[in-house]
Homo-oligomer: A and B are copies of this chain.
Amino acid sequence: MDLKRLTADELVTELEAQLNRYDKYMQMGLSLDMTRGKPCPEQLKLSEPMLCDEILGDHTSESGTDCRNYGVLAGLPEARRFMGELLGVPGDNIICGGNSSLNMMYDTMCSFMLFGVSDDEEDRPWSESKERKFICPVPGYDRHFAITQLLGFKLIPVDIIPDGLDMDEVERIVKDDPSVKGIWSVPKYSNPTGYVYSDECIRRLARMECAAKDFRIFWDDAYTVHFINGEPAKQLSLFDECAKAGNPDRVIVFGSTSKITFPGAGISALAADKKTVDFLLSRIAKQTIGPDKLNQLRHVKFLKNVEGVVEHMKKHAVIMKPKFDAVEEVFENEFGSPLEGQLEWTKPEGGYFICCRTGDGMATEVLSMCKQCGVAFTPAGSTHPYKIDPTDSYVRIAPSYPDVPKIKSAVEIFCICVKIVLIKKLLEAKKEANNN
């Protein structure tokens, strides 16, 4: 239903109907959490066999290293190879770490802040650059933005579009300003839109001219195998494209098994050109004696290789798809199809999120009404730098954790609130128009 086509009387009737629905939900005393992209218990159960002690055998790696003891700074060779397969990069270019790729991003960023991007004399510590800036695709991932905000970067928003980034804008920003040190990206099933960067976008990122020689792309390939339909989307390798373009050190790829096995107890990895890997390892050598190799061994024994992962992810998809479908179904029931200025939403083929857009200036009020009704969504603004969405319209829906009936209730309540806020605005506008 296109609410904008209704007359004032029709709007009043519709408002009353929606307020009635809202009141009914209010009386149910719900408590639904749609805030974070967190796997549900059924998903966690898929990886339980990984925790049996037999999987560790005699605790030795393929080269005979006792994984219980110290050492192996860059991670077990078989874990590096495994994470390399996942990220489309040779194992030698991989550093395999602990349970959090966010941690690897933060640490890499701190190294660049304290030491620069390499040991070359001209690569000064980023902290010495008083006016440092970082590009943040919007809508995007709040935890990325928070790291660069904490470290004193000015955050520059750039629109994300269905086939990737607004590359004209990115190229314009990086071309002449050496204080622009890098860009965040979630290239496949992006958080929160679910968009997949196109090959063209990836080529342009690899080739573009950057004023800062130490410009770096933090490429968070968090959802690379997290398809919900068919199989993982094919995507050009930015790592390869950067090498081809003569910019091999431009990209650092990050990934983890957090949403493949266990969010709290997975393994993580970064991939970069050899020079950057060696540089980072020289710092990591002072930071630790080595990662948890037993957990790396568990993962390799359980998942084996990228084919094993894809098979495993099909089981995740069986659980995830009905949840995405439930959101889509409610949206279709309530709005038919996406309508600009009323409610638009993305239809991802993977990842953990659906991104909605209400009319401008409505998201905060909508989510506040949802909260009063016992439904928590990621707060409005979270998808933007400094947690401020200038349009106040973007809402991230995270359907992974609740079960389908709860998702349907939550999204229905969300739709009701969107309608109520929208109708009130429309009525006010009509009133104002009449007064003039």
Contact = CB atoms under 8 A, between A and B. Distances in A.
Interface of A: 36, 38-39, 41, 44, 47, 51-53, 56, 59, 66-72, 98-100, 102-103, 106-107, 110, 113-114, 127, 143, 146-147, 150-151, 258, 262-265, 283, 286-295
Contacts of A143: 286, 289
Given A99-B291, A102-B287, A147-B286, A44 B66 contact: yes
Contacts of A59: 44
B262 A69 contact: yes
A262 B68 CA distance: 5
A294 B106 contact: no
B292 A98 contact: yes
Nearest to A401: B69
Contacts of A99: 98, 291-292
Nearest to A70: B263
Given A51-B294, A287-B106, A38 B265 contact: no
Contacts of A44: 59, 66, 68-69
B293 A265 contact: yes
Contact of A114 (B47, B113, B258, B288): B113
A292 B295 CA distance: 10
Contacts of A286: 106, 143, 146-147, 150
A110 B98 CA distance: 19
A98 to B, nearest CB: 5
A70 B262 CA distance: 8
A289 B41 contact: no
11 contacts: A36-B70, A44-B59, A51-B53, A51-B294, A53-B53, A68-B263, A103-B288, A106-B287, A107-B107, A264-B290, A264-B294
Contacts of A288: 100, 102-103, 106
A289 B264 CA distance: 8
Contacts of A39: 69
A318 to B, nearest CB: 19
A73 to B, nearest CB: 11
B41 A66 contact: yes
Contacts of A68: 44, 47, 262-265
Nearest to A266: B292
A289 B283 CA distance: 23
A146 B38 CA distance: 39
Nearest to A103: B288
Nearest to A148: B286
Given A52-B53, A99-B292, 10 more contacts: A38-B70, A41-B66, A44-B68, A67-B264, A69-B262, A102-B288, A106-B288, A143-B289, A146-B286, A295-B295
A288 B266 CA distance: 13
Contact of A264 (B52, B71, B114): B71
Contact of A263 (B146, B151, B258, B289): B289
A114 B292 contact: no
A51 B56 contact: yes
Closest CB pairs A-B (n = 3): A106-B287, A265-B294, A68-B262
Most buried by B among A47, A107, A288, A295: A288
Contacts of A71: 264
Contacts of A258: 70
Most buried by B among A72, A150, A151, A265: A265
A103 B70 CA distance: 13
B69 A287 contact: no
Contacts of A294: 51, 262, 264-265
Given A38-B69, A110-B110, A114-B113, A102 B292 contact: no
A60 to B, nearest CB: 11
